C-alpha cells in the first residue's frame, strides 16, 4: 500500500461522499475512493450517525474507527447529526443542510447510498435526501441557502452498501479497482471498522463482491456505481470499454 496518497489539488474536492453510518462509504465504495485519492484527487466524507443503534461498538468506538478509515483512504471527514442511527427521516431541514454542504464543499461528483428499499432504511433516507439536496444546491433563490453561492455538481452516483441494495432496474458503471495499492488501502479502511467484524465477515464479503463484478468486466476487482442521470461525453474516444469486451 502506498504510504500516503498524492497531495490533492488546491481547488474543490473531486468527490463528496455521504454515508448514513460510520462504515457505509468504506464498505460500499472504499475502493473507488482509494483509486481517486491515490491519483491525487481530493475526497471528503459526510457521515450522518455514529452507529448508536448498532449491536457492536460504542458511538465513541465507531467514531474513532471512521476517522481512522477515512485517513487510510486519504479522505477528510465530518459528522452531521440527523437524529441518530436508525432514527433518520426525510426532512426538508436535512435536505437543506446537505445542500449547504454541497455549496460549501463544491464537489464535482457526489456519492450516496442507493435508494433501493430492501436495505437499512437509513441508507434509503440519506440517498434520497442527497439526491434532493444536489438539485436544491444549484437554485439561486432558495432563501435558506442564500448566503452560499449556488453550485451544480457534475454527477450524482449511487453506491450499494450491500448486494441487496444493488438496483435491478438501473445500469451500473463498473469502476476498476484492481490496482494492488488500491485494494490494500480499501482493505485496510474496512479492517479499521473492527467492531463490525463481530457481526459478519464484511471485509471478505465486499472483496468477494468486487471480485465477482471484476469477473464481469474483465478486471481483478470492480465496484458498481449507479449514475442518477445519463452520462454526457464530448467524445466517444473518452469512453471506457464495455464490460463484455475482454
pLDDT at 170: 87
Sequence-ordered list of residues with C-beta below 8 angstroms from that of 31, at least 6 positions apart, any chain: 175, 177, 182, 183, 186, 210, 221, 223
CA pair distance 111, 160, nearest whole angstrom:
10
Nearest Cα to Cα of residue 216 among 171, 174, 157: 174
Provide the CA 32 distance to its chain's centre, in angstroms. 8
pLDDT at 61: 97
Spans of the chain, pLDDT less than 70: 1-12, 245-246
HSE-CB for 30 with a 13 A CA cutoff? 32
Class of domain 15-229: alpha beta
- Paired with 173 in beta bridges are 225
**Percent of the chain with pLDDT strictly greater than 70:** 94
pLDDT at 12: 58
Which pTM does this prediction carry? 0.93
Nearest Cα to Cα of residue 23 among 164, 197, 207: 197
C-alpha gyration radius of the chain: 17
Amino acid at each position: 500500500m502506498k504510504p500516503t496518497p498524492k497531495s490533492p489539488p488546491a481547488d474543490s474536492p473531486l468527490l463528496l461522499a455521504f454515508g448514513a453510518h460510520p462504515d457505509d462509504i468504506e464498505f460500499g465504495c472504499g475502493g473507488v475512493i482509494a483509486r481517486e485519492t491515490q491519483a491525487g484527487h481530493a475526497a471528503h466524507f459526510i457521515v450522518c450517525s455514529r452507529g448508536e443503534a448498532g449491536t457492536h461498538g460504542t458511538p465513541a468506538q465507531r467514531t474513532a474507527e471512521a476517522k481512522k478509515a477515512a485517513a487510510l483512504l486519504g479522505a477528510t471527514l465530518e459528522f452531521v447529526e440527523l437524529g441518530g442511527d436508525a432514527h433518520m427521516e426525510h426532512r426538508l431541514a436535512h435536505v437543506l443542510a446537505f445542500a449547504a454542504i454541497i455549496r460549501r464543499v463544491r464537489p464535482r461528483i457526489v456519492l450516496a447510498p442507493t435508494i433501493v428499499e430492501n436495505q437499512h432504511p437509513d441508507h434509503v433516507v440519506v440517498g434520497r435526501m442527497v439526491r434532493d439536496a444536489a438539485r436544491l444546491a444549484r437554485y439561486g433563490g432558495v432563501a435558506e441557502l442564500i448566503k452560499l453561492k449556488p453550485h451544480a455538481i457534475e454527477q450524482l452516483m449511487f453506491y450499494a452498501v450491500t448486494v441487496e441494495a444493488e438496483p435491478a432496474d438501473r445500469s451500473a458503471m463498473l469502476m476498476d479497482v484492481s490496482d494492488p495499492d488500491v485494494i490494500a488501502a480499501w482493505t485496510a479502511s474496512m479492517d479499521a471498522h473492527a467492531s463490525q467484524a463481530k457481526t459478519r465477515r464484511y471485509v471478505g464479503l465486499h472483496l468477494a463482491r468486487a471480485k465477482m463484478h471484476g469477473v464481469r468486466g474483465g478486471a481483478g476487482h470492480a465496484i458498481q456505481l449507479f449514475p442518477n442521470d445519463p452520462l454526457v461525453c464530448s467524445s466517444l474516444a473518452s469512453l471506457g470499454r464495455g464490460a463484455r469486451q475482454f
